[in-house]
Amino acid sequence: MRVLYFAWLRQKVGIAEEEVAPPAEVRDVAGLIRWLAARSSGHAAAFADPRQVRAAVNQDFATPDQPVAANDEVAFFPPVTGG
Amino acid sequence: MRVLYFAWLRQKVGIAEEEVAPPAEVRDVAGLIRWLAARSSGHAAAFADPRQVRAAVNQDFATPDQPVAANDEVAFFPPVTGG
Amino acid sequence: MARILVQDAAFDLAAETAAVTAGRVDVGGVASFLGVCRGDDGLAALVLEHYPGMTERAISRIAEQAEARWPLTACTIIHRTGRILPGEPIVLVLTASSHRAAALESCAFLIDWLKTGAPFWKREEFASGDHRWVAAKAEDDEAAARWTGAA
Amino acid sequence: MARILVQDAAFDLAAETAAVTAGRVDVGGVASFLGVCRGDDGLAALVLEHYPGMTERAISRIAEQAEARWPLTACTIIHRTGRILPGEPIVLVLTASSHRAAALESCAFLIDWLKTGAPFWKREEFASGDHRWVAAKAEDDEAAARWTGAA
């Protein structure tokens, strides 16, 4: 599973992307966030306030209950501020 | 009194402007229209359908009951179609 | 202070846009509407007539209303007259503001009002040699009227 | 078919406008919105980040929605990324249609949705050396949401 981080999530985690192999009990976006948050203090800081975190699975916006699987590209980022 | 005609009113009257001296009983735009319509067949044709005629007195849009006086500039034209 | 021009000549959209942002850092958005002459039904040309003096005054008043209603940093209205061919621009409304909604709304307001509140008359000339004066549209009156409702 | 570009480079408003009218006579109006970087509070630069691939897809979908909702003859969206200085353009939305209301409304719709539906993130850099990520605004969500209400 490829995980990408953008904006201040990237800065807090300290990397722009990583390949991860979460255990089978990680089934959805919310579960992935909990698992990732335990990987480092940077990850913990990035996911400290879940209300400020948005996700995409395979480049579509995703809700916390969206399933995730081994070959997915999952991205985490703050609410968007373009335009 | 200076009277101006625009668009198809100008074409029907046959002139773009004229100096007129209506009698004292011509007090407002509606009265002026009645008086002008009697001046020629072109004038009569221009004012044949008053619903299609708009007026301005001294370069402000005017209603039929707007007073007119000797030194005014009065214009007649169809509903506007700019933009 | 609005920039208002009524002229036969073409205008330069890029130059007009650049002029409202040049040398300032308080402009967040520039909205524009460019009205273009369509070539429907064999139209060969539009000929636009105006009432010199009154037309400019009427546009100035519409612009003043927009500037009173929205916080604009610039407002440019250029309306062409004379003979205009299909595909050529007729009118430019350009508004700038710190806030995008003010720029967008005032631009729509101005073009809606120009259609009904400024003395211009369009005559259509056809390839066949026929010509006719364009009739005012009820939908234009409605578009202008919605700005006077609750908003 | 919308023209969508996400790029660091500046863009040419005049060329984009000319492209949507060139060689055709069915365009009655071209509406555009140009978003510009303001220099509030000592801002030295904006740095815009995006999600390559997803950003273009998200914009394409928004453009498809606009093209389904309004009869557009053209739809151009250009969003810059990277470092942008106060006074410089950030984003261009340009819509063309036979009808002015379609061009004006779709342009407003697209810029409202770009603010909330396309993955871009802005970081502000100040003359003092401070920097901060721009927070999303509730008013932008509201502006985008009004397009899903009764209209």
CATH of the domain at A16: 3.10.20.30
Alpha helices (runs of H) in chain D, residue ranges in sequence order: 13-21, 54-69, 100-117, 138-145
Which chain C residue is nearest to residue D31, measuring alpha carbons?
C33
> Per the domain annotation, does A83 fall within a domain?
no
In this structure, the number of other CB atoms found within 10 A of the CB of residue C50 comes to: 24
Give the separation between CA B15 and CA B4, rounded to whole angstroms. 8
**How many angstroms separate the CA of residue D87 from the nearest CA in chain C?**
5
Mean per-residue pLDDT over chain D, rounded: 94
pLDDT of residue C147: 87
Question: What is the arrangement of strands in the sheet containing A60-62, beginning at the earlier edge strand?
Answer: A17-19, A2-5, A73-77, A54-57, A60-62
pLDDT in tens, C17-28: 999 999 999 999
> Per the domain annotation, does A64 fall within a domain?
yes
Residue (of C2, C17, C13) closest to C77 by Cα position: C2
Let me know: does A76 contact A3? Beta carbons within 8 Å. yes
When pLDDT is cut at 50, 70 and 90, the band that residue C115 belongs to is: very high
Domain D3-145 falls under CATH 3.90.1170.40:
yes
When pLDDT is cut at 50, 70 and 90, the band that residue C151 belongs to is: very low
* Cβ–Cβ below 8 Å for C51 and B6: yes
When pLDDT is cut at 50, 70 and 90, the band that residue D25 belongs to is: very high
φ, ψ at C18 (rounded to 5°) = -60, -35
- Residue D151 pLDDT more than 50? no
Provide, as residue numbers in chain D, all residues whose Cβ is less than 8 Å from the Cβ of C25.
37-40, 43, 86-87
- Chains in touch with A (3+ beta-carbon pairs under 8 Å) read D
Q: What is the mean pLDDT of each run of 10 residues along chain B (83 residues)?
A: 98 98 97 98 97 96 97 97 92
Task: Tell me whether A49 touches chain D (CB under 8 Å).
Answer: no
The alpha carbon of residue D129 and the mean position of all alpha carbons in its chain are separated, in whole angstroms, by: 28
Task: Tell me whether A16 touches chain D (CB under 8 Å).
Answer: no
* Cβ–Cβ below 8 Å for B82 and C48: yes
pLDDT of residue C138: 85
Provide, as residue numbers in chain C, all residues whose Cβ is less than 8 Å from the Cβ of D14.
12-14
Least confident of A10-19, C58-67, D131-140: D131-140
Question: What average pLDDT does this structure show over C85-110?
Answer: 97
pLDDT of residue C68: 98
When pLDDT is cut at 50, 70 and 90, the band that residue C83 belongs to is: very high
pLDDT of residue A40: 98
pLDDT of residue C150: 45
pLDDT in tens, A57-72: 999 999 999 999 999 9
* Cβ–Cβ below 8 Å for C51 and B77: yes
- Chains in touch with B (3+ beta-carbon pairs under 8 Å) read C
* Cβ–Cβ below 8 Å for A4 and D50: no
Which chain C residue is nearest to residue D144, measuring alpha carbons?
C101
- Note down the domain range covering B37: 2-77
pLDDT in tens, C50-73: 999 999 999 999 999 999 999 999
> Per the domain annotation, does B83 fall within a domain?
no
Of A56, A81, A83, the CB nearest to D54: A56
Going from N- to C-terminal start, the domains of chain D cover: 3-145
- Chains in touch with D (3+ beta-carbon pairs under 8 Å) read A, C
**How many angstroms separate the CA of residue A23 from the nearest CA in chain D?**
27
- Domain total in chain A: 1
> Per the domain annotation, does B68 fall within a domain?
yes
* Cβ–Cβ below 8 Å for B83 and C91: yes
- Residue A7 pLDDT more than 70? yes
pLDDT of residue D148: 85
pLDDT of residue D150: 45
> Per the domain annotation, does A53 fall within a domain?
yes
* Cβ–Cβ below 8 Å for B82 and C140: no
When pLDDT is cut at 50, 70 and 90, the band that residue C148 belongs to is: confident
Predicted-complex ipTM score? 0.93
Q: Which residue has the higher pLDDT, C138 or A29?
A: A29
Of B8, B61, B81, the CB nearest to C120: B81
- Residue A47 pLDDT more than 60? yes
Question: What average pLDDT does this structure show over A18-41?
Answer: 97
Do the two chains A and B touch, given a threshold of 8 Å on CB pairs and at least 3 pairs?
no
pLDDT of residue C35: 97
pLDDT of residue A17: 98
> Per the domain annotation, does A37 fall within a domain?
yes
Beta-carbon pairs below 8 A across chains B and C: 66
Give the separation between CA D32 and CA D10, rounded to whole angstroms. 16
